[in-house]
Structure 1
Amino acid sequence: MKNNHPSLHAAIRRLLPAIGLAACALAAPALAQTATTVDPNHGTIVVKKFYDANANGVRDAYEPWLSSWPMTLNGPGVSASTRLTTATWSGLPGGATYTVEESMPVETNWVRSAPATHPVSVTVVPCKTVTVKFGNYCLKGSGGRTPGFWSNRNGEAKLADGGTMAPELNLLSSLNLVDAAGNAFDPTGYEQFRTWLLGSTAVNMAYKLSSHLAAMTLNVEGGYVNGSSTFLPCQCTIDELLEDANAALTDPAATREQLEQLKNWLDQLNNGAAVVSPTPCKRTFATTY
């Protein structure tokens, strides 16, 4: 029979997908599943893992996803189902609640930062995918060298590793360093710098802060410390801490207590305090999946 109503048929074809979506959204009665039929009452849980480089509990755009991290799902019809990230469980009954739990590496320097609760409770939404994001970071020593290091032969050799100390001395002169009298200190030679380092005391807190600022600046320049590392006590990167310390030395409103806090943080880092690694550390798991 000839089709005399092409526009009507086209309208019906356009409506069919919408009708299917509406049935899914309204949680229509479950259909018997076959190789070609999907129950519209079912949903999916996806679990992803990211490296939380700044330890803020939120995935920022520059932070990478981590693969092959074991996640375990428990709930109706599922008992201790473990899969690797990105982990996906499909065909779960809508409205049912499951728990997702992550495995932790054998290496004890890994820390969970997100979600706030663990295990995580997840309710399946019919016809939808619910995504759960876990965040972790790892700690390691800062790698810092103390002012004492920079005043000994090893420090002297490191300063001259490029054949001259001129770049390092220029770098130090660009900072707001001060001496015991509070005068600007711009080193022009190693012996002058060494004497200044060894003479620093907390009588003038700005002087003591200056010595630790100089040491950490050289640590970053020399490759001992990664300035992008996050230091949890200040919730800042080492580069940001250096910037704050340098600014404080010329801030007339900065109190002795504020200068001392900055000095203490730099002192800890110069002595190898733990920082959040800017990149993921080694990770292994007790069970292979």
Structure 2
Amino acid sequence: MRSTRAFWFLAGAALALVLAACGGQTGSLGASSSSLQAANAPLTGAIYTTLGDGSLVNGNVYDAKEDVYLNGGPPPNAPCTAAGLPDGEYYFQVTDPSGSTLLTTDPIDHRRVRVQGGVFVAYTGALYGGTRQVGAGKCPGAISVQLFPYADTPNPGGEYKVWVTRVADYAPESGVHGFLPAKSKTDNFKVRMRGEEPADVVIWGYKWYDANTNGIWDPGEPAIPGWRVEKEPPTPSEVTYTSASGQYSFLVPKNSGSYTLTEVPPPPGWWPAGRWLNTTPTSGTVTVGTADVHGPDFGNVCLGAGGGRTLGFWSNRNGQNTMNGLGMNTVLAELRNLHLVGANGNPFDPTSYSEFRSWLLGANATNMAYMLSAQMAAMYLNVRAGFVEGSALVYAPGTQSANAAGFAQVSALLAEADAELALHPTAFAGDPWRTYQEALKNALDWANNNQTFVQPGPEACPFDSPY
């Protein structure tokens, strides 16, 4: 009778899940715009719009152009200790969403702000004759700056784009009215249409990185800016992109009925073609009456490496050396305590590395339990050697360990696979449990191939926006 030592090793590997939310390290760069270090530093942090009191508005949609203030520093949903903007002097401008039309036409030096400690601390445009109002910032000692004056956008959806670039990077004859996109931060906002017709209303929602894959935006989970969201009607759909705070918004007429909102992943799309997976439905419907309405929120994770080693690794010299380092006899004894099986469903109890290697190399899915055994053994060794954390989340649809979004901890998958092999050592074509065993095998196979580990934050899967 097999002992439960290996099972308890698997259970002990199921540590409390800790996935780091996106954040950065604060840094101290010279405040002078003439500093070469500051000029060459990457443009960390974020810019975003608020009301003058520093508060966010739903969907980045404002009642009037005068209400919009520019904030800068750590992202709006990140703590003040997160990375802000590099210190120095900055210019800002307002354009239409495409950047083709410059809407702020006053002198560039009227649109100037100083960053210190990663946040806006002074409206230095006033030194050159600018007259913008100063409001509250997010963090202690921070300010915000009114964007007005600027002209009405030609965009029919009432959308604008604000840009910020370091004074040292301003190039009057290049870029977007002197702002080089690669050296600028941008954020979009909207202003409600006004006129004889009744005011429009807003459909708005959020896009966030669901690090624990539970479908809920928990504290510390970062927003995802630049994500495409589409609205129908009309056909073809209206398109927008999420702001620095992860918000999307659409302006629509009052009492205009039902709309469907759909998120669109960046190319090449959802896994397996791409690296992103949704943890919430990718579309939802709202009905518009006379008030602003909260549309669907969209949670996602990106998938990637987590230390997995394949069957090929464990059947070559690298795997053999690793097992030797762990104590070959000890590891083989642990493998014998698992419910591994061979092609005919008989127990496989390896007593030597050569025997184990031959068994791995011969694994096939004629008896799905054999292939599941091989993938389980490889993942067991990955955890045992410290290549993979037992608490890591991987994509595992169709397994009993998986949550509603299809993700499970590695240690839970191993325990589940071992229990299933004890129950069904054969799974040939036509066996009702074969599909379930294949789901377990696939989950372990993908992870052993280092493809489907949930990454700690969206920075692991960067993308260009708009797309």
Tell me which interval the TM-score lies in, with the shorter structure as reference length.
0.5 to 0.7
Structure 2 match to 1:194: 354
Residue pair 1:215, 1:270 contacting (<8 A) in 2 also: no
**What TM-score do the two structures reach when normalised by structure 2?**
0.40
- CA drift at 1:52: 5.0
- CA drift at 1:140: 3.5
Structure 2 match to 1:218: 381
**What TM-score do the two structures reach when normalised by structure 1?**
0.58
Larger Rg: 1
List alignment gaps of at least 5 residues for structure 2.
1-62, 68-193, 400-405
Structure 1 residues 99 and 165: alpha-carbon distance in aligned structure 2, compared to 1, 3 A threshold: same
Q: Which amino acid aligns with 1:245?
A: A
Partner-residue secondary structure (3-state), 2:393: coil
Matching of residue 130 in structure 1 with residue 287 in structure 2: no
Return the match for 1:228 from 393, 397, 419.
393
Give the whole-Å Cα distance in 2 for the aligned partners of 1:210 and 1:127: 57
List alignment gaps of at least 5 residues for structure 1.
1-31
Structure 2 match to 1:46: 204
Structure 1 residues 165 and 266: alpha-carbon distance in aligned structure 2, compared to 1, 3 A threshold: farther
Structure 2 match to 1:14: none
Partner-residue secondary structure (3-state), 1:156: helix
Richer in helix (by share): 1
Matching of residue 248 in structure 1 with residue 412 in structure 2: no
Structure 1 residues 130 and 166: alpha-carbon distance in aligned structure 2, compared to 1, 3 A threshold: same
Structure 2 match to 1:285: 464
Partner-residue secondary structure (3-state), 1:177: coil
Give the whole-Å Cα distance in 1 for the aligned partners of 2:304 and 2:353: 30
Structure 1 residues 267 and 102: alpha-carbon distance in aligned structure 2, compared to 1, 3 A threshold: closer
- CA drift at 1:218: 0.9
Q: Percent identity?
A: 25
Residue-by-residue CA offset, 1:215-245 (whole Å, 9 max, x unaligned): 1211233344564211346545344432222
Aligned length: 246
- CA drift at 1:33: 8.8
Partner-residue secondary structure (3-state), 1:229: strand
Give the whole-Å Cα distance in 2 for the aligned partners of 1:205 and 1:110: 27
- CA drift at 1:53: 6.0
Structure 1 residues 128 and 185: alpha-carbon distance in aligned structure 2, compared to 1, 3 A threshold: same
Partner-residue secondary structure (3-state), 2:382: helix
Further displaced range: 238-247 or 123-132? 123-132
- CA drift at 1:64: 3.3
Q: Which amino acid aligns with 1:265?
A: N
Residue pair 1:104, 1:110 contacting (<8 A) in 2 also: no
Structure 1 residues 105 and 73: alpha-carbon distance in aligned structure 2, compared to 1, 3 A threshold: closer
Give the whole-Å Cα distance in 2 for the aligned partners of 1:110 and 1:55: 15
Residue-by-residue CA offset, 1:230-268 (whole Å, 9 max, x unaligned): 134654534443222201232268654446636853674
CA RMSD of aligned residues (A): 4.9
Structure 1 match to 2:452: 275
Give the whole-Å Cα distance in 2 for the aligned partners of 1:65 and 1:214: 36
Residue pair 1:144, 1:224 contacting (<8 A) in 2 also: yes
Residue-by-residue CA offset, 1:48-96 (whole Å, 9 max, x unaligned): 113356879x4476993433234567799xx866551432659865424
Structure 1 residues 65 and 122: alpha-carbon distance in aligned structure 2, compared to 1, 3 A threshold: farther
Structure 1 residues 204 and 124: alpha-carbon distance in aligned structure 2, compared to 1, 3 A threshold: closer
Partner-residue secondary structure (3-state), 1:213: helix
Give the whole-Å Cα distance in 2 for the aligned partners of 1:168 and 1:73: 53
- CA drift at 1:116: 4.2
Return the match for 2:315 from 133, 151, 172.
151
Larger relative CO (CA 8 A, sep 6+): 1 or 2?
1
- CA drift at 1:213: 2.0
- CA drift at 1:149: 2.4
Give the whole-Å Cα distance in 2 for the aligned partners of 1:199 and 1:52: 39
Further displaced range: 241-250 or 268-277? 268-277
Q: Which amino acid aligns with 2:446?
A: L
